[in-house]
Amino acid sequence: MRTDIKPVRPDRTPLRQAVTDRIKTYIIDNRLRPGDSLPTEAELCEALNASRSSLREAVKTLAALDIVEVRHGSGTFVGRLSLSSLVESLAFRGLLSPGDDVRALLDLVEVRQLFEEGMAGRIIERLDEAHVASLERAASELERCAPGSAPQIEADRHFHRLLMEPLGNHLVSQLTTAFWDVHAIVAPYLGMSSPREDAEAMAAHRAMVEAARRRDVDAFAAAVVQHYAPVRRRIAAAGPG
């Protein structure tokens, strides 16, 4: 049952921000989920005592954060609540300054490795045979793709997303995918990887699968370290001095 939207009271908060906050409160109070519809523009304007222009500016702000989604001809809905805005801001930070991109990429690699290496025990504990088989297929697909190609990039993304699925932690999965996406945007600015690095990365993916199949946490963690070693070397080579 939807609760009433409380009118915005005049205060020092800019009207657009007040309207933005009230829309978020409405979503929370009514326990709306991604894909659920919001009231019409006219209904929101009346309920929030806001002008059409203020409401549209607020909706535009929320849409940029993926909190709402505007479907032309259909209305406004609760968004996917993804981390797309985080991806864009981190990628821009990494590319904004030639001196900062290497540091930003190293930060991303460290976070990605921290997630996968640090959660090795939980990942192995919760993997079932079906999931191991999915990782096996994903690793095989990676090996069939041409290095640096779009299919290989997507296959690698899929592999690392699969690693986190057994945890059942939606936020960890979202963060992992977001950091991977930023990495994929910024990494090309380090230059192309070498055939040796590509082979090392492929071997690391295969080692992760084999360790998962044997339920060997230490071997899995070692394979994660092996996976990130080539890009760490490239970052070190591209860094100052």
Model confidence pLDDT, tens digit, residues 38-51: 988 888 888 778 88
Helix axes 129-144, 150-164, angle to 10 degrees: 160
Residue in 238, 143, 150 with CA at minimum distance from that of residue 191 = 238
Residue 7 covered by a domain: no
CA distances in angstroms from 81 to 19, 92, 127, listed in the order given: 19, 20, 27
| Angstrom distance (rounded) from CA 21 to CA 8 | 10
CATH number of the domain where residue 26 is located: 1.10.10.10
Same domain, 34 and 70: yes
Same domain, 138 and 217: yes
pTM, to two decimals? 0.62
Among 60, 78, 96, the domain-final residue is 78
The terminus-to-terminus CA distance of the chain in angstroms comes to 62
Residue 2 covered by a domain: no
Same domain, 93 and 69: no
Residue 1 covered by a domain: no
Number of domains within the chain: 2
CATH number of the domain where residue 91 is located: 1.20.120.530
Residue 8 covered by a domain: no
CB-based burial of residue 240 (10 Å sphere; 0-12 exposed, 13-18 middle, 19+ buried)? exposed
Residue 169 covered by a domain: yes
Residue 6 covered by a domain: no
Range of the domain at 178: 84-238
Among 78, 103, 122, the domain-final residue is 78
pLDDT above 50 (res 59): yes
Highest-confidence segment of 87-91, 205-209, 231-235 = 205-209
pLDDT confidence of residue 136: 94
Same domain, 48 and 125: no
Alpha helices in the chain (DSSP H): 15-29, 41-48, 52-64, 84-96, 101-118, 120-126, 129-144, 150-164, 170-186, 195-214, 217-238
Among 51, 78, 105, the domain-final residue is 78
Mean pLDDT computed over 210-229: 95
pLDDT above 60 (res 78): yes
Same domain, 33 and 94: no
Phi, psi for 10 (deg, rounded to 5)? -60, 130
- Express each pLDDT in 118-143 by its tens digit: 999 999 999 999 999 999 999 999 99
Same domain, 149 and 125: yes
pLDDT confidence of residue 93: 55
Size of the chain, expressed as the number of residues it contains: 241
| Angstrom distance (rounded) from CA 239 to CA 139 | 31
| Angstrom distance (rounded) from CA 145 to CA 47 | 54
Mean pLDDT computed over 221-226: 95
Helix (H, G, I), strand (E, B) or coil at 207: helix
Q: Is the Cβ–Cβ distance between 55 and 19 less than 8 Å?
A: yes
Same domain, 97 and 68: no
Same domain, 62 and 155: no
Same domain, 58 and 164: no
Residue in 201, 237, 227, 234 with CA at minimum distance from that of residue 114 = 227
pLDDT confidence of residue 10: 47
Q: Which residue has the higher pLDDT, 102 or 121?
A: 121
Q: Is the Cβ–Cβ distance between 77 and 37 less than 8 Å?
A: yes
Same domain, 117 and 46: no
